[in-house]
Amino acid sequence: MEATTAGVGPARLTGLATWLLGQTAAHAGRLVSEGFAAVGARGYHFRLLATLDEFGPASQSVLARRSGIHPTEIVGILDYLASRKFVERTPDSADRRRNIITLTDAGRHHLDALDAQINKVQEDLLAPLNPADRAELRRLLGVLLDHHNKSVGTA
């Protein structure tokens, strides 16, 4: 049996973990984009809103670290989310460099819609895998991420 070929293409390529990962992620990304586009949103919105929902209000730089989104991206995403009244940006009185970002009720509501959407996408993506395989995939990807997060120092 050996390494699966995943359709067609040069074996030199299709046997590579990096290629399989890239192709699968591209596909997943397509599904995610479509799913979010259906509710007029993007991946970044979900990531930021989910971060706010689970960790509570925070400054933009803390948000960047928690969400894994690059600090320079945060500004624009927040501009948009604030314009839609999904978050509130208020200056931090304790440290005037900072803004404190808070999730609004509308934002929480929107997040629920995105949540429903993204869960549909998981099903789509993982359709051909049974529960054990899904868990195993998550485990393996988790190990890789943990390892590389540590060595690179994303913490």
Name the site residues for its own copies (rule: CB under 8 A): 3-13, 15-18, 20-29, 31-32, 43, 46-47, 50-51, 53-55, 66-68, 115, 118, 121-122, 125-129, 133-150, 154-155
Give the range of 7-15, 73-81, 132-140, 141-149 binding DNA by CB under 7 A.
73-81
- CB of residue 91 to its own copies, shortest distance in Å: 25
CA distance 55 to 17: 34
* Contact call for residue 44 and DNA (CB under 7 A): yes
CA distance 101 to 92: 9
C-beta separation of 59 from 92 below 8 A: yes
| Residues at the site binding DNA, with contacts judged by CB under 7 A | 22-23, 26, 29-30, 32-33, 37, 42-44, 59-62, 64, 68-76, 78-79, 89, 92, 95-99
